[in-house]
Amino acid sequence: MKDGFLTLTTRIGDFLNVTQDGYAIFSADDILIGCNQAYADLMFIDFEQIIGKSFNQQCRIAFKNQQGPKIETADIEQWLEVAQTKRRAQEFRIFEVDLVDGRWFLMSEQVLPSGELLLQAKNITKQKVVEQTLSKNTHQLTSLALTDELTKIANRRSFISNVKSEINRYKRNKQTFTFCLLDIDYFKKINDKHGHQVGDNVLRQLSALIKKTLREYDQFGRIRGEEFGILLPDTTALKADDIINRLRSKIMDTTFNHHNNPVNITLSIGIIESWFGCTFEHLYNQSDIALYKAKHNGRNQVVMVAPTQSTIETATAESKK
């Protein structure tokens, strides 16, 4: 048993010489009394010089030389004060540290009954790179799943989900919003006359213009083809009528596509104010009725509808279920 233990400690000694992980032991008054080469390397201090230096001294060197652990502060003494409040506050703690050269270490500190502190710095750079790549990919995938490929605005799924969130908010705080359904007039003619590519340019530029014109918290998305939805939070239909009419005029006065092949468009728009119990389907169907009227009345106009009494009653009854 004793021989086995001896073998282990000798082997650990060999291991400490070759591992990429840093090991260090600090005295009760925080002076480094022993470490391996990997620890000295991660602190960017010569092995011969690091023994005998306190934790604070090592951090000051790292900060001054901008090497070793990344210390982002304007005031190193203040930073050390904060660091010291955490050091030895628990018997065992674990935390991540990134180095100026891009490496990452998982630090574990064990305070021994003598007050000495044993530190292990595990090199986790590879795991961190995988983690960061995964998180970046997940972010890109999520954004792809929610974005319309052509126009780069919210796609149908994402827009509907945003509208549903707004409906839930309305249920809680009763702040009226207005839902608007927009459709480009005679878009088929634009495609037929100028080609599909030009049609695509118009859709892209129109989306960018509307997005730029709306407030940051308004919801905007492409529902299908040349049909778009806008939700104006905290806005009555009367106020929305004014906002959307200004938007309609702006678009009517804008020349889309490039200069040697200019395209002008108009929009027909149906708008409807929220009511208690309304769902996305209600809002869409009612604003579609308004949009149909706008088309029927000659296009390039905004038509506002109020929900029918029966729609309100059905919605109220359904929301009480």
Q: Which two tokens stand for residue 108?
A: 């574990």
Minimum CB distance to ligand GTP smaller for 160 or for 182: 182
Minimum CB distance to ligand GTP smaller for 56 or for 266: 266
Count of alpha carbons within 13 angstroms of residue 279, beta-carbon side: 10
Pairwise CA distance, residues 32 & 21, whole Å = 17
Q: Does 188 bind ligand GTP (CB under 6 A)?
A: yes
Question: Looking only at residues 214 through 273 of this chain, which bind ligand GTP when binding is defined by CB under 6 A?
Answer: 225-226
Pairwise CA distance, residues 228 & 264, whole Å = 18
| Helices vs strands, H then E, count in the chain | 12, 10
Q: Does 184 bind ligand GTP (CB under 6 A)?
A: yes
User: Which is nearest to 246 in space by CA: 297, 201, 209?
Assistant: 209
Cβ contact 232:241 at 8 Å: no
Give min distance, CB of 202 to ligand GTP, in A.
7
Minimum CB distance to ligand GTP smaller for 196 or for 215: 196
Which of the ranges 73-81, 89-97, 184-192, 270-278 carries the binding residues for ligand GTP, by CB under 6 A? 184-192
Question: Which position among 48, 109, 149, 226 bears the catalytic label?
Answer: 226
Which of the ranges 118-126, 172-180, 182-190, 232-240 carries the binding residues for ligand GTP, by CB under 6 A? 182-190
Q: Does 150 bind ligand GTP (CB under 6 A)?
A: yes
313 counts as catalytic: no
Binding test (CB under 6 A) with ligand GTP, winner from 32, 42, 203, 232: 203
Minimum CB distance to ligand GTP smaller for 194 or for 239: 194
Q: Does 182 bind ligand GTP (CB under 6 A)?
A: no
Backbone angles phi, psi at 227, to 5 degrees: -115, 130
Give min distance, CB of 265 to ligand GTP, in A.
9
Cβ contact 178:273 at 8 Å: yes
Q: What is the DSSP string of 147-205?
A: B-TTT-SB-HHHHHHHHHHHHHHHHHH----EEEEEEETTHHHHHHHH-HHHHHHHHHH
DSSP state of 118: E
Cβ contact 274:234 at 8 Å: no
Cβ contact 25:119 at 8 Å: yes
Give min distance, CB of 198 to ligand GTP, in A.
7
Give how many residues touch ligand GTP by CB under 6 A: 16
Q: Does 200 bind ligand GTP (CB under 6 A)?
A: yes
Q: Does 199 bind ligand GTP (CB under 6 A)?
A: yes
Q: Does 275 bind ligand GTP (CB under 6 A)?
A: no
Query: Could you give the residue numbers annotated as active site?
Result: 226
Residues binding ligand GTP (CB under 6 A): 150, 183-188, 191, 196, 199-200, 203, 225-226, 295, 299
